[in-house]
Amino acid sequence: MSQKLKIADKEFTSRLFTGTGKFSSSHLMKEALLASESELITVALKRVDVANEEDDILSHLNHNHINLLPNTSGVRTAKEAVFAAELSREALETNWVKLEIHPDPRYLLPDPIETLKAAEELVKLGFVVMPYIHADPVLCKRLEEVGVQCVMPLGAPIGSNKGLKTVDFLEIIIEQSNVPVIVDAGIGAPSHAAYAMELGADAVLVNTAIAVSQTPVAMAKAFKMAVEAGRMAYEAKLAPRSEMAIASSPLTSFLS
Q: Closer to a copy of itself at the Cβ: 33 or 194?
A: 194
Window 52 to 71, contacts with a copy of itself (CB under 8 A): 71
Q: Closer to a copy of itself at the Cβ: 84 or 128?
A: 84
10 binds a copy of itself (CB under 8 A): no
Active site residue 224: no
Q: What is the distance of C-alpha 78 from the center of its chain? A: 21
Distance between CA atoms of residues 75 and 205, nearest Å: 20
Distance between CA atoms of residues 130 and 95, nearest Å: 11
Do 132 and 110 touch, CB atoms closer than 8 A? yes
31 binds a copy of itself (CB under 8 A): no
Q: Closer to a copy of itself at the Cβ: 1 or 64?
A: 1
Could you count the other beta carbons within 10 Å of the beta carbon of residue 155? Answer: 28
Annotated binding residue at 62? no
Distance between CA atoms of residues 213 and 217, nearest Å: 9
21 binds a copy of itself (CB under 8 A): yes
Query: CA of 212: how far to CAs of 26, 155, 193, 215, 220, in Å?
Result: 13, 18, 16, 8, 11
Do 30 and 59 touch, CB atoms closer than 8 A? no
Q: Helices 137-146 and 167-176 sit at what angle, rounded to 10 degrees? A: 30
- Near a copy of itself by CB under 8 A: residue from 57, 75, 82, 119: 75
Annotated binding residue at 186? yes
Interface size with a copy of itself, residues (CB under 8 A): 103
Mark 118-157 with x for binding to a copy of itself (rule: CB under 8 A) and - for no binding: ----------------x-xxxx-xx-------------xx
The H or E element containing residue 145 is helix 137-146
Annotated binding residue at 13? no
Name the segment binding a copy of itself (CB under 8 A); options: 9-17, 61-69, 89-97, 167-175. Answer: 167-175
Distance between CA atoms of residues 131 and 153, nearest Å: 8
Mark 170-209 with x for binding to a copy of itself (rule: CB under 8 A) and - for no binding: --x---x-----------xxxxx-xx--x--------xxx
72 binds a copy of itself (CB under 8 A): yes
Q: Which of 236, 220, 219, 154 is nearest to 187 (CA)?
A: 154
Task: Identify the active-site residue in 4, 10, 30, 98.
Answer: 98
Annotated binding residue at 185? yes
Would you name the residues annotated as active-site residues?
Answer: 98
Binding residues, by number, are: 159, 185-186, 207-208
Going by the annotation, the residues of the binding site for 1-deoxy-D-xylulose 5-phosphate are 159, 185-186, 207-208
